[in-house]
Chains A and B, each alone.
Chain A
Amino acid sequence: MPDHSPVHAHQFETLEQQHDADTMGMWTFLATEVLFFGGLIMCYTFGRFSYPQAFEAASHRLYVGYGGPNTAILLCSSFTMALAARAAQLGRKRKATALLILTALFGVGFLIVKGFEYHTDYLEELVPRFRFHWDGPEAAHAELFFWLYFVLTGLHAMHVTIGVVILMIVAVLSWRGRITAEKYVTVEIIGLYWHFVDIVWVFLFPLLYLIGHR
Chain B
Amino acid sequence: MKETPPNYLDEHSVSSWLLTTDHKRIGILYLLSIVVYFAIAAVAAALMRINLLTPQGDLVLPETYNKLFTLHGVMMVWFFLIPSIPAVLGNFVIPMMIGARDVAFPKLNLLSWYLFNIGGLCALYAVICGGVDTGWTFYTPYSTTYANGHVVTMIMGVFIAGFGSILTGLNFLITIHKMRAPGMTWFRLPLFIWSLYSTSVILVLATPVLAITLLAIAVERLWGVGIFDPNLGGDPVLFQHMFWFYSHPAVYIMILPGMGVVSELITCFSRKRIFGYHFVAFSSLAIAVVGFMVWGHHMFVSSQSIYAGMVFSVLSFIVAVPSAIKIFNWTATLYKGSISYDTPMLYAFGFIGLFTIGGLTGLFLAAIAVDVHLHDTYFVIAHFHYIMVGGMVLSFMGGLHYWWPKITGRMYPEAIGRTAAIVTFIGFNLTFFPQFLLGYLGQPRRYHAYPPEFQVFHVLSTAGASILGIGYLLPLLYFLWSLKFGARAPANPWNATGLEWETASPPPRDNFEEIPIVTEDPYSYPPEPEEEAKPEPQHA
Do A and B touch, yes or no (CB under 8 Å, in the complex)?
yes
B105 within 8 A of A: yes
Does B212 contact A36, Cβ atoms closer than 8 Å? yes
- Within 8 Å by CB of B226, from A25, A31, A38, A144, lies A144
A50–B319 Cα distance when bound, in Å, is 31
**What number of A-B contacts does a CB cutoff of 8 Å give?**
98
Binary flags per residue of B76-108, CB closer than 8 Å to A gives 1, else 0? 000000000000000000010000111111100
A50–B215 Cα distance when bound, in Å, is 21
Does A12 contact B233, Cβ atoms closer than 8 Å? no
Does A25 contact B170, Cβ atoms closer than 8 Å? yes
A169 shortest CB reach to chain B, Å: 16
A51–B238 Cα distance when bound, in Å, is 14
Give the nearest-CB partner of B225 in chain A: A147
Give the nearest-CB partner of A128 in chain B: B225
Among B170, B216, B233, B515, max chain A CB count under 10 A is at B233
Residues of B within 8 A of A24 (CB): 173-174, 177-178
Residues of B within 8 A of A147 (CB): 219, 223, 225, 227
Residues of A within 8 A of B205 (CB): 31-32, 35
Answer whether A17 and B179 are a contact pair too, CB < 8 Å, given A28-B204, A43-B227, A46-B235. Answer: yes
Residues of A within 8 A of B173 (CB): 24, 28
Interface secondary structure of A, over-half rule? helix
A79 within 8 A of B: no
Residues of A within 8 A of B102 (CB): 10-11
- A residues 39-56 with Cβ under 8 Å of B? 39-40, 42-43, 46, 50-51
- Within 8 Å by CB of A39, from B177, B209, B223, lies B209
Does B233 contact A11, Cβ atoms closer than 8 Å? no
Give the nearest-CB partner of A28 in chain B: B170
A65–B164 Cα distance when bound, in Å, is 40
B415 shortest CB reach to chain A, Å: 40
Residues of B within 8 A of A140 (CB): 226, 232-233
Residues of B within 8 A of A13 (CB): 515
Give the nearest-CB partner of B171 in chain A: A25
- Within 8 Å by CB of B225, from A11, A12, A29, A143, lies A143
- A residues 102-127 with Cβ under 8 Å of B? none
A21 within 8 A of B: yes
Does B179 contact A25, Cβ atoms closer than 8 Å? no
Does B209 contact A35, Cβ atoms closer than 8 Å? yes
B224 within 8 A of A: yes
Residues of B within 8 A of A128 (CB): 223, 225
Does A11 contact B170, Cβ atoms closer than 8 Å? no
Residues of A within 8 A of B204 (CB): 28, 31-32
Answer whether A43 and B212 are a contact pair too, CB < 8 Å, given A140-B233, A144-B233. Answer: yes
- Within 8 Å by CB of B213, from A11, A29, A39, A51, lies A39
A214 within 8 A of B: no
Binary flags per residue of B196-220, CB closer than 8 Å to A gives 1, else 0? 0000000011111101110110010
A72 within 8 A of B: no
Does B179 contact A39, Cβ atoms closer than 8 Å? no
Residues of B within 8 A of A38 (CB): 208-209
Residues of A within 8 A of B208 (CB): 32-33, 35-36, 38-39
Residues of A within 8 A of B521 (CB): none
Give the nearest-CB partner of B204 in chain A: A32
Residues of B within 8 A of A143 (CB): 225-226, 233
Q: Interface of B with A (CB < 8 Å)?
A: 95, 100-106, 166, 170, 173-175, 177-179, 204-209, 211-213, 215-216, 219, 223-227, 232-235, 238, 242, 510, 515
| Closest 3 pairs (CB-CB, A-B) | A140-B233, A39-B212, A11-B102
17 A-B residue contacts at CB 8 Å? A11-B106, A11-B179, A12-B179, A21-B105, A25-B170, A31-B205, A32-B204, A35-B206, A35-B208, A39-B242, A43-B227, A140-B232, A143-B225, A144-B225, A147-B219, A151-B215, A151-B219
